[in-house]
């Protein structure tokens, strides 16, 4: 049997055979997920929002692993970037150590290397493993084991920056230079780390941030090889992909992955489009993939010429992946096989896998029993973007308690969403006590009627402290702060799962070897997204008719038209749905089409000129 001293890992390259990744979830739910899954070849994404939580988790894992720890305080120079760099370096070190130990472990029941291969989907590596198990000759078996050790590829330790979270930083009342903004510091922290992985940009384009990325050499290819640090764009449609891709290409930056996410059928913030549905969007990417790559390749080479760099004969790799509401093996296979995406993202179901994500016990129980209505698209986010929320979370209970005590608003311990300057020169977070107190006074003194004051105040106090409380689960589970309150941003898919699962069980579910679904009435992921869009449009139309939605009749006409086109598209592609589910799929489409056709918009009467 092979042992560590006989293992030659030189030249081990490639990508993990796993066909799914674990997306970023909140600020804390996947903050250390790489330490739990990367050694098994599973890629996951770490949020770079909360640098205090990052520092706390670095201390926690240094103590746990016996690594030296020296605190980086808020007052230290470039503290945010340095905290991120040191934490990512620690993850890199510990995962590398785990993988070396896994490769050296014996092929026996319960060992790490056995678990690695048992978790794989059907693939050449899994076939080679099964062949090894059936080999009787000891020498041949040992040779096959040596080959298997060389096939092991860890999952990627990717990171996420939500580009809209680009708070300016003030010291002693003075604004610091742009590179100390939250997102710029986070990018710098990743760029200076030892990781060879991807940064996922989400929530749209940030020109300053993208331009800043071009100043770091790790984002540039070495010869004809891909950059050490890659760029992934999370996008909701093809137009966004090509606009952002061109902007980056002009600056000598290559997009290695376009990660398509449903506009509404996802967790966290929901970036609703004008009725553009996931199926037609995926179809457009499938049809125009070659055009996208060639367009960006041409612009990329022009930028390289301007930087006195040699031209790239062939385009670098581009991967198309998809995520948002996937719940079954059949849906996963539809995305991989028909739409030809390279990988799918499974997020919300992993919140019920304690060995993978940070969810405290109290919240875990609530997730297991969550029903429609408890998981809702809320106005909780201080960013003013629809946000998936759980009404029974500790964070929501704390918010309601503060209102009942006559002290609405959060103490705002970190202020990463302090972006509002409508009341003060130094930005405040709309969920903060300071903002809500000032805004409440403005509402009372603004000449509103008593009814309007009640309505405006009710909207004001809906805002939650999500930048800090989304890390509450990690602080509670790892005993960092026993007083933390947890917010959670699970998608609506959580109501279809109602029991805690192991990593093996969840992976078997993804690969069609088990079924963890507990809601027999669950609709197809495409139908669920359409349903959410119909509900979203109905709500917007009602608000417009009451004069509280700043929309135009043309907006509603376009939105409705896009949804009707999407329904027709789904009717035409229904043959791709497995036989026993096709009739239900078409029936659900017909029902939602009727609901959509009943939505009407009554234009507001225009004031008559004097």
What is the rounded CA–CA span in Å between residue 346 and residue 324?
8
The tokens of 162 are what?
Answer: 């939500």
Strands 343-345 and 20-22: parallel
pLDDT of residue 603: 63
pLDDT above 90 coverage of the chain, percent = 89
- Structure token pair of residue 146: 């040596």
pLDDT in tens, 445-465: 988 899 999 999 999 999 999
Residues with Cβ within 8 Å of residue 284, at least 6 apart in sequence: 237, 238
Beta bridge partners of 22: 44
Classify residue 529: in a domain, yes or no.
Answer: yes
Percentage of the chain modeled with pLDDT above 70: 97
Check residue 107 and report its DSSP letter: S
Q: Where are any strands of DSSP class E within 29-123?
A: 43-47
- Residue 160, token pair as written in the block: 């996420």
Phi, psi of 22 (to 5 degrees): -105, 110
pLDDT tens-digit map of 545-590? 888 777 899 999 999 999 999 999 999 999 999 899 999 999 999 9
Closest CA to 276 of 549, 584, 537: 537
pLDDT at 393: 97
What pLDDT does 225 receive?
81
Q: Is the pLDDT of residue 504 over 50?
A: yes
Average pLDDT over residues 82-98: 98
Average pLDDT over residues 142-161: 98
Residue 536 located in a structural domain: yes
Look at residue 548 in the predicted model and tell me its pLDDT: 79
Strand pairing partners for 208? Answer: none
The answer to whether position 125 is within a domain reads: yes
* Residues pairing with 174 in the sheet: 171
pLDDT in tens, 515-548: 999 999 999 999 999 999 999 999 999 999 888 7
pLDDT tens profile 319-358: 999 999 999 999 999 999 999 999 999 999 999 999 999 9
Q: How far is Cα of residue 324 from the mean position of the Cα atoms in its chain? A: 9
- The string of pLDDT tens digits covering residues 216-237 is 999 998 877 889 999 999 999 9
pLDDT at 609 over 80: no
Confirm whether 504 is domain-assigned: no
CA distance 418 to 416: 6
Q: Which two tokens stand for residue 439?
A: 């805004």
Q: Is residue 539 part of a domain?
A: yes
Residue 374 lies in a domain: no
7 has pLDDT over 50: no
Residue 345 within any structural domain of the chain: no
pLDDT of 12: 43
Q: Beta strands of 29-165 (E only): which ranges?
A: 43-47, 157-162
Q: Beta 170-171 vs 387-390: how paired, if at all?
A: unpaired
Strands (DSSP E) contained in 411-477 are: none
Q: How far apart are CA 137 and CA 131, in angstroms?
A: 12
Position 438 pLDDT exceeds 90: yes
C-alpha span between 284 and 339 (Å, rounded): 9
Dihedral pair phi/psi, residue 438, rounded to 5°:
-65, -45
Q: How far apart are CA 201 and CA 181, in angstroms?
A: 16
pLDDT digits (tens, 9 = 90+) for 594-607: 999 999 987 655 55
H-helix or E-strand spanning residue 150: helix 138-151
Shortest CA distance to 506 belongs to which of 351, 341, 333? 351
**What does pTM read for this prediction?**
0.94
Task: Identify which of 163, 160, 161 has the alpha carbon closest to the alpha carbon of residue 208.
Answer: 163
Average pLDDT, the chain: 94
CA distances from 234 to 44, 147, 175, 377, 459 (A): 14, 36, 30, 20, 30
Report which of 162, 190, 202, 191 is spatially closest to residue 49, judged by C-alpha positions: 162
Question: How many domains in the chain?
Answer: 2
The beta-strand segments (E) located in 153-227 are 157-162, 170-171, 174-175, 198-202
Q: Are 577 and 333 in contact (CB under 8 A)?
A: no
Distance of CA 266 to CAs 269, 276, 468, Å?
A: 8, 15, 21
- The pLDDT of 29-45, averaged and rounded, is 98
Domain boundary among 165, 185, 205: 185
The pLDDT value given to residue 2: 33
- Is 417 part of a structural domain of the chain? no
Average pLDDT over residues 288-295: 98
pLDDT of residue 11: 37
Instruction: Please tell me the distance from the alpha carbon of residue 135 to that of residue 131, in angstroms, as a whole number.
Output: 6
Query: For residue 604, what pLDDT is reported?
Result: 59
User: Domain range for residue 88?
Assistant: 15-185
Cβ atoms of 563 and 264 within 8 Å: the answer is no
Q: Which of 185, 210, 241 is the last residue of a domain?
A: 185
Among 185, 207, 222, the domain boundary falls at: 185
Return the H-helix or E-strand segment holding 202: strand 198-202
- Conformational region of residue 110, where left means phi above 0, alpha means psi within -120 to 50, and beta covers everything else: left
**How many CB atoms are closer than 10 A to CB 134?**
8
Residue 245: count other Cβ atoms within 10 Å of its Cβ.
24
């Amino acid at each position: 049997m092979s042992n560590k001293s006989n293992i030659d890992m030189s030249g081990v390259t490639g990508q993990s055979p796993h066909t799914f990744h674990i997306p970023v979830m909140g600020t804390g739910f996947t903050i250390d997920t790489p330490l739990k899954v990367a050694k098994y070849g599973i890629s996951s994404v770490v949020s770079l929002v909360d640098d205090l939580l990052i520092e706390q988790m670095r201390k926690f894992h240094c103590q746990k692993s016996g690594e030296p720890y020296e605190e980086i305080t808020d007052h230290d120079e470039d503290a945010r970037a340095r905290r991120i760099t040191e934490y990512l370096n620690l993850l890199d070190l510990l995962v590398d150590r785990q993988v070396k130990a896994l490769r050296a472990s014996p092929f026996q029941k319960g060992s790490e290397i056995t678990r690695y291969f048992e978790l794989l989907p059907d693939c050449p590596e899994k076939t080679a493993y099964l062949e090894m198990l059936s080999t009787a000759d000891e020498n041949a078996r040992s040779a096959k084991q040596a080959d298997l050790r060389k096939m092991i590829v860890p999952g990627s330790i990717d990171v996420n920056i939500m580009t809209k979270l680009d708070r300016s930083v003030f010291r002693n009342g003075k604004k610091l230079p742009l590179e100390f903004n939250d997102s710029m510091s986070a990018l710098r922290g990743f760029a200076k780390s030892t990781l060879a992985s991807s940064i996922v940009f989400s929530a749209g384009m940030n020109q300053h941030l993208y331009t800043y990325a071009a100043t770091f050499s790790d984002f540039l290819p070495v010869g004809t090889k891909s950059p050490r640090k890659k760029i992934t764009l999370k996008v909701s449609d093809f137009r966004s992909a090509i606009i952002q891709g061109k902007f980056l290409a002009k600056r000598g930056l290559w997009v290695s992955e376009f990660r398509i996410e449903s506009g509404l059928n996802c967790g966290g913030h929901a970036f609703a489009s004008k009725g553009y549905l996931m199926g037609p969007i995926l179809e457009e990417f499938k049809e125009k993939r070659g055009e996208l790559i060639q367009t960006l390749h041409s612009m990329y080479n022009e930028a390289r010429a301007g930087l006195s760099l040699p031209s790239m004969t062939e385009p670098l790799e581009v991967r198309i992946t998809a995520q948002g509401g996937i719940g079954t093996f059949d849906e996963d296979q539809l995305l991989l096989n028909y739409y030809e995406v390279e990988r799918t993202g499974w997020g919300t179901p992993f919140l019920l896998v304690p060995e993978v994500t940070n969810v405290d016990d109290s919240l875990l129980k609530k997730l297991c029993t969550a029903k429609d209505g408890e998981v809702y698209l809320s106005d909780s986010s201080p960013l003013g973007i629809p946000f998936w929320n759980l009404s029974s979370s500790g964070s929501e209970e704390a918010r309601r308690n503060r209102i009942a005590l006559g002290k609405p608003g959060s103490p705002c311990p970190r202020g990463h969403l302090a972006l509002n300057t409508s009341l003060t020169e130094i930005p405040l977070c709309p969920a903060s006590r300071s903002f809500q107190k000032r805004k409440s006074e403005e509402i009372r003194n603004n000449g509103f009627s008593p009814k309007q004051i009640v309505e405006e105040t009710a909207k004001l106090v809906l805002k939650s402290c999500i930048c800090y409380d989304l890390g509450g689960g990690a602080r509670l589970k790892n005993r960092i702060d026993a007083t933390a309150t947890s917010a959670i941003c699970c998608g609506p898919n959580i109501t279809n799962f109602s029991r805690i699962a192991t990593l093996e069980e969840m992976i078997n579910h993804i690969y069609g070897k088990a079924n963890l679904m507990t809601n027999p009435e669950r609709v197809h992921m495409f139908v669920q997204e359409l349903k959410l869009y119909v509900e979203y449009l109905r709500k917007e139309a009602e608000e417009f008719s009451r004069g509280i939605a700043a929309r135009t009749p043309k907006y509603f006409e376009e939105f409705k038209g896009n949804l009707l086109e999407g329904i027709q598209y789904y009717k035409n592609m229904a043959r791709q749905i497995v036989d026993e589910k096709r009739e239900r799929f078409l029936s659900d489409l017909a029902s939602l089409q009727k609901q959509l056709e009943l939505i009407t918009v009554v234009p507001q009467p225009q004031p008559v000129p004097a």
